[in-house]
Amino acid sequence: MSKGCAVLNNRLIVMTLFCNLFVGVAYGSGHSASGLVTTAGASGAEPVSASHRDFSCAANGEAADDVMTVQTTLAGVPAILRVPKVIRKPPIVLWHGLGSPAGESELMKALPLDDVPALKVYLGLPLFGARAPSGDAESLARRQGEDYASRIFELVVVGAAKELPAVLKVLREKRCLGPNDEIGLFGFSAGGTAALIALTEPEVHVRAAVTVNAPIGLSAAIDAMERATKRPYTWTESARQLAERSDSIRHAADIASGVPPRALLLFHGADDTVVAPSGAVSLREALQPYYRRSGNDLRLKLVIAPGVSHDWTQPRPLQQLRASVANWFNKYLYPANWS
């Protein structure tokens, strides 16, 4: 955690979890003014791509010389597209968290997934990066102080899930997604909660998904906030209703829908002191009967990783996570017309 986050001003102190949130704001907006970004990935420097205005997946893939990155917006959502030399799988949409990696550029650097032959679409969460409110950390802190459920969780987490159908529509228009293709979906922390919510939406067709250190709903997120701040949250009726709507266990049947059910990897650090691994364990237990009933036990996997904390960007956990995520998508993500 950055020491500079400890005190936002003389009047307002935000504890560890939400200090990380503000670090994410600072890192999530560091893109070039030209609208393009080139980032050194696992294999070094990458060529500049076409501009965001004329980008189309039909013009890339086999014709590309190397991995390319494009900074753009999709249906108004800031995004970085990572385009492999060869595209053989539908796109993977990825959401960052409130703490590191806390922006689309930072997530791409940590998890480039260049060994998965799919377009990677790193989306910025609402209120982050280019969409950070004026006043940045102070404004976000005020929202938290007013009401975390309605002023942060509903707008950032639920809001991200609500934006996804429009993003996918643009990807289809840009010939990045076939009309019958099902996407891959990844989310870390709050982005993982957004992914779980998106899995309950019938208009979002997901073939394979991965969550990392994700709260399983608003109640779990507030538990994390209370542990970090040492202060009780004041529940309102609207917050309770939002907690019910966002509770992944209550929506286990929706998450496990599909024939076969979508492949879901729940990855959680055993040493995560921000979001307890117990939530992922409970979600797996709620989902397991649906997968077992259809004979698809292997399409649901829970990994409680020893030595991994909430921040998985240190070298050892990063290597493990990169391999786990890439293996999952390479195994289970393929176009709908494939066998």
Mean pLDDT by 10 residues, the chain (339 residues): 33 33 30 27 38 61 70 96 93 95 96 97 95 72 87 96 98 92 97 98 96 98 91 96 98 96 97 96 98 96 97 94 98 74
Q: Are 57 and 175 in contact (CB under 8 A)?
A: yes
Q: Are 16 and 1 in contact (CB under 8 A)?
A: yes
How confident is the model at residue 39, as a pLDDT? 31
User: What is the bridge-based pairing of β-strands 89-95 and 77-83?
Assistant: unpaired
pTM: 0.85
Listed residue (167, 221, 183) closest to 21, CA to CA:
221
How confident is the model at residue 52, as a pLDDT? 54
How confident is the model at residue 143, as a pLDDT? 85
User: What is the bridge-based pairing of β-strands 77-83 and 68-74?
Assistant: antiparallel
Domains and CATH numbers, the chain: 3-332 (3.40.50.1820)
* Number of residues that this document lists for the chain: 339
How confident is the model at residue 33, as a pLDDT? 21
How confident is the model at residue 137, as a pLDDT? 54
